[in-house]
Structure 1
Amino acid sequence: MGSAEIINILQEMSFLILKLSAPMVLTALVLGMVVSLIQAITQIQEMTLTFVPKFVAVIAMGLIVLPHIVPSFESFTKTLFFKISHSGAGGR
């Protein structure tokens, strides 16, 4: 397996991680902005008010997109193992 192939695999992996984590990150970002706006308007400065809703929303979003995440990781892993086993060197 050459360095070009390894770089290609790392690029695919990085893109997959970004694509699959985006729903949770965007959920936390949007909810954090909304909660911060509400805190600024009402002048309530409670730390748990920022943490708990984001935590619950990120977990819920993770459960919602889980049926999409698992097959994507499974497909990437199968492709990766296939590329490794057919790389020519055979692990030697």
Structure 2
Amino acid sequence: MNESVIVDIARDGIWTLLMICGPTLLVALGVGVLVSLVQTLTHIQEMTLTFVPKILAMFLSILFFLPFMIRQIDEFWLRMMDSVVNLE
């Protein structure tokens, strides 16, 4: 196993991680910006108000994107198993 194989595996793992976490993090970012905008417009400065909508939105986005996430993990696993077989 040389360095290029290790770099390719690491790059593939990081890309898969971004594909899995990205949609949920983008939803959290969007909800955070919207709640912050509403707080600014209404002059409500309650710090705990941002957590409940963000948690609910992240939970719903995980439920919505779960098939996509599982497919990405499955494809990554298959690629890793193929690369282990080809290392001989």
Q: Deviations over 1:21-76 (max 9, x none)?
A: 11111111111111011111111122221001001101110110101111210111
**Structure 1 stretches lacking a partner, 5+ long:** none
User: May I ask how many residue pairs the two structures share in their alignment?
Assistant: 88
TM-score, normalising length: structure 2: 0.91
TM-score, normalising length: structure 1: 0.87
**What corresponds to 1:84 in structure 2?**
84
1:45-60 equivalent positions in 2, closer than 5 A = 45-60=45-60
Percent identical pairs in the alignment equals 34
Q: Which has the higher contact order (CA 8 A, sep 6+)?
A: 2
1:70-81 equivalent positions in 2, closer than 5 A = 70-81=70-81
Aligned residue identity for 2:12: E
Aligned residue identity for 1:39: Q
Q: In terms of mean alpha carbon deviation, does 40-49 or 65-74 score higher? A: 40-49
**What corresponds to 1:22 in structure 2?**
22
Q: Could you list the runs of 4 or more consecutive aligned residues of structure 1 that deviate by over 4 angstroms after TM superposition? A: none
